[in-house]
Every structure is written in structure tokens, then in C-alpha cells.
């Protein structure tokens, strides 16, 4: 059906963005975000992240998970490979139709071995993350995390998933 995460993303979008949250392992929380798995099939899934304002994740990675993110709303900034956060303040504007200027824009594919971080501005933020779990069944990238955790709620979520 699809041989990589970009093909899966393209299929999901063209298929009308089907919703089929799984019964098991559908919702996960951290100190800075709520995650809901919108669709899961085999080793592919789409998660919706809704992030709290004025928060930030430390640098981390998700080994064995190829992913690509898609911007939805709010003020989000991404950093990769221990670099600075991308300044997206110039794009914090509405389009003519009222949607955010960055709606639908993507972050390049991460093969799971690269460090990255997320910073959320004063309005909060939301994004989709399309995932291909290469060597195990999907749960959530929130629970499949290598690096410093976001906080105590994050640690509890990881512990509960094991």
C-alpha cells in the first residue's frame, strides 16, 4: 500500500482524512501536550498533538520511527540536530480564508535517529504527525522517546505504556 511515511501521509490526505482511533493506546499526555491517534493501520499511524502555550520539549528522538509533521494551528517552532529553533514569527498571520498561513506546511522527514525539539508560543499549537514504526507496533511517539523527558506527567505516561 505505502512504502514510506510520505506515501502514507499522501494516501491519508487523499482518502479524505479518515478517522479510526484505535481502542488500545489512543490517547497520551505529557506536561506540554495531548496526543490522540486519529488513524492506525499496521505499522502506520497519524497522531494529532495539541500543545499547551509557552512550553518546550528538550532535544529528543524516536528510534525506529520514521515521521513527518504537518502544521495545523498556533505558534510552533521546530529545532533539529541541536540547532536553533526556526523563527516562524513572520508567518504568524491568517490567510485570506482565515486559516493560519502555515496550515498544511510540513517538516521534513525524520528517520528517528535525528534529535529534534518543539517550542510552543503564547497561543499554543497543534500539528499532525504521520508515523511509520519500522520494527514494532505503533503506540505513540510520546511513549517511544529517547532523551530528557518533558516532566513528571510524561514519565507517568511512558511508565503506564510499558
Query: What distance in Å separates the CA atoms of residue 77 and residue 97, rounded to the nearest whole number?
Result: 23
Dig out the grid coordinates for 10 from the structure.
Answer: 499522501
For the chain, the domain total comes to 1
Q: What is the DSSP letter of 68?
A: E
Residue labelled with grid coordinates 524516536: 62
Residues 37, 81 contacting (CB under 8 angstroms): no
Q: Which pLDDT value is given to residue 140?
A: 97
| Mean pLDDT confidence for 62-72 | 95
Q: Which pLDDT value is given to residue 35?
A: 98
Does residue 73 have a pLDDT over 90? yes
Over residues 12-39, the pLDDT tens digits come to 999 999 999 999 999 999 999 999 999 9
Say what the pTM is: 0.93
Q: What is the DSSP letter of 146?
A: E
Which residue range is the domain that position 63 belongs to?
5-161
Over residues 80-108, the pLDDT tens digits come to 877 788 888 888 888 888 888 887 888 77
Q: Which pLDDT value is given to residue 153?
A: 96
In this structure, what CATH number is given to the domain that contains residue 31? 2.60.120.10
Does residue 8 have a pLDDT over 80? yes
Over residues 109-136, the pLDDT tens digits come to 888 888 899 999 999 999 999 999 999 9
Choice between 92 and 67, residue whose per-residue pLDDT is larger:
67
Amino acid at each position: 500500500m505505502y512504502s514510506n511515511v510520505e506515501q502514507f501521509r499522501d494516501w491519508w490526505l487523499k482518502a479524505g482524512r479518515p478517522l479510526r482511533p484505535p481502542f488500545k493506546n489512543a490517547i497520551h499526555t505529557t506536561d506540554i501536550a495531548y496526543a490522540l491517534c486519529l488513524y492506525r493501520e499496521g505499522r502506520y499511524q497519524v497522531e494529532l498533538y495539541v500543545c499547551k502555550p509557552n512550553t518546550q520539549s528538550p532535544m529528543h528522538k524516536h528510534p525506529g520511527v520514521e515521521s513527518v509533521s504537518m502544521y495545523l494551528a498556533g505558534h510552533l517552532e521546530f529545532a533539529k540536530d541541536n540547532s536553533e529553533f526556526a523563527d516562524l514569527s513572520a508567518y504568524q498571520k491568517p490567510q485570506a480564508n482565515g486559516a493560519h498561513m502555515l496550515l498544511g506546511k510540513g517538516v521534513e522527514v525524520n528517520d528517528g535517529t535525528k534529535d529534534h525539539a518543539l517550542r510552543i508560543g503564547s497561543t499554543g499549537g497543534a500539528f499532525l504527525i504521520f508515523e511509520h514504526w519500522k520494527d514494532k507496533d505503533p503506540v505513540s511517539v510520546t511513549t517511544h522517546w529517547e532523551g530528557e523527558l518533558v516532566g513528571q506527567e510524561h514519565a507517568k505516561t511512558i511508565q503506564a505504556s510499558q
